[in-house]
Amino acid sequence: MATSSVSPPPLRPPSQANTQKYKVALCQLPVSPDRSENVARARARIDAAAAAGAKLVVLPEIWSCPYSMETLPSYAEDIDGGASPSISMLSEIAAARKITIVGGSIPEKTSGKVFNTCCVIGPDGEIIAKHRKLHLFEIDIPGDITLRESDTFTAGPEPTVVDTDVGRIGLGICHDIRFPELAMLYRSRGAHLICYPSAFNMSTGELLWDLMQKCRAVDNQLFVATCSPARDPNAKSDYMIWGHSSLIGPFGEVLAAAGHEEATVIGEIDLSMIQSTRENLPLETQSRGDLYRFVDVQREESARSVAREETQMEKGSGGKML
């Protein structure tokens, strides 16, 4: 299955999406050590969400296996090599239901490395984008929790924006939400929605989960969707999941939200809300570019590369552009 994502430039505005309103489902799934069981459960929940009218379905971070640094590598799947039962299922159900799926994340193995990877599947069942978690989580709270994702995962190489049948979506995974610059970049590239499959723990979840989602939505005047695994109070793990998957609007409105248990919540995205919010509160025109500046490194490098090529063409043509 081929993958493609938006590379800057050019970009079109999100208002040119195929639809102005659509339903998005957040499937907050319990996770067991049995991958086949997890895959079957996810398929059933996606099917039910599509039957309820969802055009976009979002899954949690690490939904195919337990979130344990010790065991994650043994569950890693070869997505590019076609040996991924999790992604194969997502492709089948997306094509059968003609929906777009932001496939949460699964551990991906390639070239001797393990990535925390989110695949976006289009209504034809093809992978249209792949995001590898950029910011690896590290926490050390004495007497509470210690975790280093870098002991298991390799960080992803680049941000991901993808055009889908419902509009342009930016992708992040869990700890990626802590970095406002990434969300700013996605807004600058025309995203109307940022999806963050996540697995916040009890320590950070209670303090930061709701706050982070609303900050990213309000600061950038767009929609934010998060999807967590369900909490298992009987799990034999030091990492207890917070849950509370949510859909947040451009003014920080909570449009849909789950508790900590297994659930599928459905909310509506109305793209006109972005335009009205930005017209009512024109932050972009109020920004002080004379005092500070946001830099999209990839775009600047792309522009420099084009300039170098044009200079070389001029030299090769004796100073005349062909």
Angle between helices 210-220 and 180-188 (to 10 degrees): 30
Among the listed residues 110, 75, 96, the one whose alpha carbon sits nearest the alpha carbon of residue 3: 110
Tokens 């939904």: give the residue. 63
Structure tokens at 276: 């009205």
Residue 117 DSSP SS3: strand
119: annotated active-site residue: no
Q: Which of 154, 13, 128, 144 is nearest to 72 (CA)?
A: 154
Distance between the two ends of the chain, CA-based, in angstroms?
A: 39
User: What DSSP letter does each residue of 135-180 carry, written as one string?
Assistant: S--EEEETTTEEEEGGGTPPPPSS-EEEEETTEEEEE--GGGGG-H
Beta bridge partners of 254: 248
Establish whether 27 is a catalytic residue. no
The beta-carbon contacts of 314-321 under 8 Å, at least 24 apart in sequence, are none
133 catalytic residue (yes or no): yes
Q: Which of 27, 119, 174, 215 is catalytic?
A: 174
Q: Check 23, 133, 149, 215 and give the catalytic one.
A: 133
Number of other CB atoms surrounding residue 144 within 10 Å: 11
Sheet of 246-248, strands arranged across: 160-164, 167-171, 193-197, 223-227, 246-248, 254-257
3-state secondary structure of 309: helix
Q: Which of 61, 77, 108, 149 is catalytic?
A: 61
- List of long-range contacts for 234-238, beta carbons under 8 Å, 24+ apart: 235/66, 237/66, 237/67, 237/68, 238/145
Catalytic residues: 61, 133, 174
